[in-house]
Chains A and B, each alone.
Chain A
Amino acid sequence: MSLIFSFIPYIKRLIVLILILFGLAVGFILSKALFDLSIYSNAVFDFMIDKSSYNVAYFSSSLIGALGIISFIGLVLLVGSWVERRMIAKFQIRVGPNRVGIFGLLQPIADAIKLMQKEVLVPAVADKLLFFIAPVAIFIPAILAWAPIPWGPNMTYLNINIGILYIFAVSSLTVPIIFFAGWSSMNHYALLGSMRTVAMMVSYEIPISLSLLSVVIITGTLNLTEIVLWQSSNSIWLGLLIPFSLFTFFFSSTAEINRTPNDIAEAESEIVAGYHIEYSGMKAGLFMAVELGNAVLLGALVTSLFLNGWFLFGLENYIPPYIIFIAKTVAIYIVLIWLRATLPRFRLDQLMNFAWKMLIPVSIINFFMIAIETTIITNLDSSKYIIYLFAIINIAVFVGLIILWSKIFKIDKFSPEKIAPIFAQKIGGIKAMEGTKSVD
């Protein structure tokens, strides 16, 4: 009997396997119907334009797309927090949430229900209006920034020519809102957190914009869709062609969205929760949700700017392109979780020094280098091979810079032999001294 039931410990893995197979089967069947989601929006437009005016048809079809993106963000907020908690638990040799639903999948919903039930405390001395507005308003840029993301060939919700500029402008809106939250709380921890955020964002927007400018000059466009198409037409990922820009963008963005190792704005061990320390209940939950959403947004941006968007070696012809896009986004998000589970935190002044003394000068040098390369590429006919050459050069320069940097800052002086403690035997040892012995 026991042999028959010996599969029970593996039943979870069995279920996962069945679910994966089922998902693959369903995905194969649906992949033709759901290959390009834009046809549904267009169908609504065609249907409505017969019935009513152009404006109504345009509005109703765009509403479909907006609903799609917003429901995707909602799904990300639910599943993402589960993924993050489970993965960090695995990193930390813990189990993680596994009680609510199978594998604890319903844990985010339970959390949300719990947070909604809690009382929202407002400090007596708080600025009531700003205190109320901040958690609501912080959602606006977090959702608006998703608009120009290119999901697939025809699946860009807001296909504007100034896509990068738009994202840059919208994401900057979070700075005053975080400052509202911190200042209106009338709490010194919150004020410290928001001042840190403002200082950090003002500093780190410069390396971010410099790294994005490199992308813009090499592709010659601000449109995210065209940046993706440029990468596929030249068959190279921009992350390989300009690795330093990718590094700068990624590292600086972790500072912008308060992720480890740059989460000093809400450093738990120092200023407890930073700007949202006074928020309780679902308002605190909103701040946390926005942080998670921003982390996934960073994944989407890195994917479309540096990782060739929905293209993956011809695989985009067989499975829906947006699935590839989401997979790349999730991969970047998992890198962020990995960093969070691994690294300690920088200090504010160290972060500022790094931005102003290291990232910004080197970004400017990198920018000029790429400008020269772009001039050569545009003036040559056989541009494809020269791009590969430049990619190798850039990677070599990137590695060289890291080595040079470690030489300048003498990281090798922290070799284990030189930092290990000495031992008392070496300096004569400790003898039992008569004068110090405790007397009866």
Chain B
Amino acid sequence: MTVQENYELNIGPQHPSTHGVFRIKVSMNGETIEDLDMIVGYLHRSMEKLSEERTYTQNIPFTDRADYLAAMSNNLGYCLAIEKLANVIPPQRATVLRVIFAELQRIASHAMANGTLVSDAGAWQTPLLYMFREREKILDLFEMTCGARLTTNYMRIGGVAFEPPAEFYPLLNDLLGELPDKIDEYMDLLSTNEIFIARTKNVGIINPKDAINASLSGPALRGSGVPWDLRKADPYCDYDNYDFDVPLGLIGDSYDRFMVRMFEVKESVKIIKQALNNLPLGMHKTQIPLALRPEPGQLYFRTEGPRGELGYFVVSDGGPAPYRLHIRPPSLINLSLLKQLAIGSSLPDAIVTLGSIDIVVGEIDR
């Protein structure tokens, strides 16, 4: 007599589709996933504990390394939180520069997310490298401004670190001019590709109720059609002065999340154009004390990162270092729904769903 039992498959920590050292222990029946267990922590670097020993300014590089694909957005969230805690008001020029760089980072991050999603669907890295073409230009802009491409460490408490050089603006204008065309090119190639639609349409459907209950945010939430964008709902950096729209998905499948990201890039281009037109003259940074000592108190500040609601919870005891710094990583919260989505589906569908949720393991483990 034969006994039929499920077999276990370890997806990761070393696997092309887990986007980092992230492990899924899957119990499979043939090609169907019966149960799965997500194991995180391979990239844990104890950022939150280490930051309790460093001054507020010294903690900024940690936020680069949390979400290494969106360093600017993480810098921004942290600096805004500390500014609010310490009552530092950045100059107007710094705020606009921050918006420019955060939106550039959003474009770069979405290019990476969508490229890897199509790679997960089996396209042999071609769309990924096409999207890298634009991402490279953005990273070049970062490099000429702050000297780093990935871990930028650009925002400061009370402003930004450097003024962009003179040759930054023509290159940025060129990029903004060609980006919408490039997005249309990707749409032509991918969004009506029969195989890509077959692989992503109706795969990993998140209905709006589940999305809200699981506290999703970012494109994963908006893909399900829930209108929620912190740039509109809880504006920071004067986002309420910009004219842009929030794209929403129709049914919440992987394809919708892909399309929402694509359209968000177009909206980001609109925001950057407006910011460039309204860039005021003045200082890019205010003077703050070397060792900033905010009043004792606590604060939770949230921004809309490329992956969703990026929150910083800071507790100050009046000393030069935070008493406690907690990061709310959008990837970790978004990932929590994977188990519900993947059980009952096949392995390739689970991989595509994971790719469409767009996790960054550095942010999950911190």
Contacts and interface: CB of A to CB of B under 8 A. Distances in A.
A424 B227 contact: yes
Contacts of B263: 420-421, 423
B16 A433 contact: no
A419 B223 CA distance: 12
Nearest to B197: A414
A93 B130 contact: yes
Given A93-B133, A419-B191, A438-B300, A189 B9 contact: yes
A6 interface: no
A93 B201 CA distance: 28
Interface in B187-238: 187, 191-199, 201, 225, 227-229, 232-235
A51 interface: no
A438 B301 contact: yes
A414 B194 CA distance: 9
Given A345-B121, A348-B346, A437-B234, A269 B248 contact: no
Contacts of A94: 129
B159 interface: no
B199 A347 contact: yes
A264 B349 CA distance: 13
Contacts of A415: 192
Contacts of B75: none
Nearest to A339: B124
Interface stretch (B50-58, B60-68, B239-247, B282-290): B239-247
A437 B230 CA distance: 10
B306 interface: no
Contact of A347 (B84, B233, B346): B346
Interface stretch (B149-157, B253-261, B326-334): B253-261
A92 interface: yes
Contacts of A427: 227, 248
Contacts of A308: none
Interface in A417-440: 419-425, 427-433, 436-438, 440
Interface string B114-129: 0000111111111001
A421 B124 contact: no
A88 B124 contact: yes
B106 interface: no
A381 interface: no
A271 B119 CA distance: 14
A424 B245 contact: yes
Nearest to B256: A421
A270 interface: yes
Given A341-B124, A344-B122, A425 B193 contact: no
A277 B280 CA distance: 58
Given A345-B121, A416-B191, A427-B227, A92 B256 contact: no
B15 interface: yes
B233 A433 contact: yes
Interface of B is mostly: mixed
Contact of A422 (B28, B121, B124, B247): B247
Nearest to B8: A188
A72 interface: no
Looking at chain A, what size class is its interface with the partner chain?
A: 35 or more
Given A421-B263, A430-B229, A437-B234, A346 B31 contact: no
A241 B226 CA distance: 54
Given A270-B351, A347-B348, A416 B192 contact: yes
A359 to B, nearest CB: 16
A421 B250 contact: yes
Contacts of A345: 121-123, 195, 199, 348
A85 B255 CA distance: 30
Contacts of B302: 438
B171 interface: no
Contacts of A416: 187, 191-192
Contacts of B195: 261, 343-346
Contacts of B119: 269
B347 A271 contact: yes
B130 to A, nearest CB: 7
Contact of B126 (A341, A349, A350, A437): A341
A188 B247 contact: no
A267 interface: yes
A398 B208 CA distance: 43
Contacts of B129: 92-94
Nearest to B243: A425
B249 interface: yes
A344 B123 contact: yes
A214 interface: no
Interface string A384-398: 000000000000000
Given A188-B7, A425-B245, A263 B122 contact: yes
A30 interface: no
A196 to B, nearest CB: 8
B245 A272 contact: no
A260 interface: yes
B299 interface: yes
A66 to B, nearest CB: 35
Nearest to B299: A440
B268 interface: no
B101 to A, nearest CB: 22
Instruction: Give the 8 A-B CB pairs with smallest separation, nearest first.
Output: A345-B122, A430-B232, A424-B246, A421-B247, A344-B123, A92-B129, A424-B227, A344-B121
Interface of A: 88, 91-94, 188-189, 192, 260-261, 263-264, 267-272, 340-350, 411, 414-416, 419-425, 427-433, 436-438, 440
Interface of B: 7-9, 15-17, 28, 31, 84, 118-126, 129-130, 133, 187, 191-199, 201, 225, 227-229, 232-235, 240, 245-250, 255-256, 259-260, 263, 299-302, 346-349, 351
26 contacts: A88-B124, A92-B126, A188-B7, A192-B31, A267-B122, A268-B16, A269-B121, A270-B351, A272-B16, A340-B124, A346-B199, A348-B346, A349-B346, A419-B197, A421-B247, A421-B260, A422-B225, A422-B250, A425-B245, A427-B248, A429-B232, A430-B232, A432-B234, A432-B235, A433-B233, A436-B234
